[in-house]
Structure 1
Amino acid sequence: MAAPPAVAPPAAGVPGSGVAGNGVPGSGAPGVASTAQGRTDAGAHPGAPAPLGGLGPRTLALIPGNARQAVVVTGKSRDANRSEAVLYRRTASGWETGTAWPARNALKGWTDDHLAGDLRSPIGVFTLSDAGGLLPDPGTLLPYDESPGFSISGTGFLGEPLDGSFDYVVAIDYNRIPGTSPLDRTRPLGADRGGGIWLHVDHDGPTQGCVSLEERHMRQLLLALDPEQHPVIVMGDAGSLSR
């Protein structure tokens, strides 16, 4: 579960692992959609609506053709740990833009070759299949695991308390098996590639590999995501995503 800047609870998985390489799915290539084995390249969808602003052809080509929701998380630079998240909805006429939310990512920024403990968030395109948290299900359509396993304590990189960081989480399908609780520790690509990369509640500091949003925005996201729309997350620094 892409733990925040400190140590993730044992049941949550390897801290800082997730999408592309160490905190998220994938072995490193931007724009890769995750599968049970880690990820699967998905070609551009013929006749698809107009592309998302700011994303380049290589990244766009990795968004699965059946995806109708995309959370685009864009970092200011390769080494920045602050970013912006926008939920887009795909319609017959193109991608509709939602509200931009402030976000945080890993302490050292982004990488397209994520490894456990590198303190960088993986760059890529990954499916969003499962949610959970310490708090009860707010009404999401995603499978939701309410569990004390999402408890966390201690402090982050800036000395901020981590309590409540996992009140709500959405698992990013990097190096994990979709269809399981975010707490599941199975790592198809191996433990060295990290795992447990999540979207979770912001604790006012950078993460180990996850992406964090303010609690109210996490609730909004959980209520918006619909598995029938095959949601994905597109994440990375602006330069990488523009390719």
Structure 2
Amino acid sequence: MYLRKGPFPAVALAVAGLLLTGCAGAGGEAAPVAAQRSAGAAGGPSAVGRFGPGGQTVRAQEIPFLGPQTRAKISRATQQAVVVVGEGPDSNRSTATLYERIPGLGWKAVSEPWPAHNGLRGWTYDHETADHRTPIGVFGLTDAGGKLPDPGTRLPYDQEAAFDAPGTGFEGEPLKGSFDHVVAINYNREPGTTPLDWTRPLGDEKGGGIWIHVDHGGPTQGCVALKLERMKELLVWLDPAKQPVVVMGDAAALRR
């Protein structure tokens, strides 16, 4: 069961706050989808290998497009990664690919690159409330919820009518249904609580309420958005025993 800490406004008001501070609302470009698909299946060699038939060294595969600084932020215990690659530092379009770490072999793509939206103004290393940019980095995925019933996830799932998204987005598109399913991204939040929890360890000025949620057809306030069917696939795939993370940023940032 989720624990809600501290005094909070009514849940409906909390979600309204998320609309304002988080969800719904040097460059370089990501590789073309076809190239990502090919590289994602093959991966890239790492410096750590194992012995294959005949004693030759077989190198473990790394996640393509990630540089050494980004890879170093992924725990050795992590076996699932959602990799979101933005088209550019100021772009609100990106792709998301699921990767799983296979013991002795390394990382393998287990999905096609999925089209996604991110923050209206792109990406940032220093997210602040209402900057309309998505935080760059590696963040845990521990908690889920939504207005609709749990589709079968192994994450804790908080179903509440308060996961409501009224109004319209930046391009005039309706936001209704955006929070039917969400996965909280552990940026400036307390892991192990409902996505509706209002705790902000870094302070309110650093924003929060950054989720993966259902795409409403336009840029977000700072979240990552996927089509409804992809959200269901993601929720069913995520396994807390594999310590899943999201690795996200524009292509140039992730190559560092």
Q: For residue 152 of structure 1, give the secondary structure of its aligned residue in structure 2.
A: coil
- Counterpart residue identity of residue 10, structure 1: L
Residue ranges of structure 2 left out of the alignment (5+ in a row): 1-10, 24-47, 50-58
Change (3 A) 1:9 1:100: farther
2:157 counterpart (140, 144, 150) = 144
Amino acid at match of 1:206: P
Match of 2:97 in 1: 86
Alignment equivalent of 1:214, drawn from 227, 238, 254: 227
**2:74 matched residue in structure 1:** 63
**1:47-196 paired onto structure 2 within 5 Å:** 49-92=60-103, 93-98=105-110, 99-196=112-209
Deviations 1:106-149 (A, max 9, x none): 00000001001100000000000000000000010000000011
Secondary structure at the aligned position of 1:60 is classed as helix
Counterpart residue identity of residue 65, structure 1:
R
Q: TM-score, length-normalised on structure 2?
A: 0.79
**What residue identity is the alignment partner of 2:148?**
L
Which AA in structure 1 matches 2:65? G
Could you tell me how far 1:94 is from its partner in structure 2? 1.2
Secondary structure of 1:10's partner? helix
Instruction: Tell me if structure 1 keeps the 8 A contact 2:61–2:108.
Output: no
Number of aligned residues: 212
Contact in 1 for aligned 2:66/2:254 (Cα 8 Å):
yes
Q: Which digits, 9 at most, give the CA deviation of each residue in 1:167-194, with x for residues without a partner?
A: 0000000000000000000101000000
Larger radius of gyration: 2
Indicate the SS of the match to 1:182: coil
Deviations 1:37-83 (A, max 9, x none): xxxxxxxxx87943210000000000011000000000010000000
Task: Label 1:16 to 1:96 Cα distance change in 2 as closer, same or farther (>3 A).
Answer: farther
Q: In the alignment, is the contact (CA less than 8 A) between 2:92 and 2:122 conserved in 1?
A: yes
Give the TM-score taking structure 1 as reference length: 0.83
Over 3 Å counting, the alpha-carbon distance change for 1:109 and 1:193 in structure 2 is same
In structure 2, what is the equivalent of residue 229 of structure 1?
242
Kindly indicate whether residue 11 of structure 2 is the aligned counterpart of residue 11 of structure 1: no
CA RMSD of aligned residues (A): 2.0
Give 1:9 deviation, angstroms: 5.5
- Please give the alpha-carbon distance, in whole angstroms, between the structure 2 residues aligned to 1:88 and 1:144: 22
- Name structure 1 gaps, 5 residues minimum: 1-7, 24-45
Q: 1:151 to 1:203 in 2, by over 3 A?
A: same
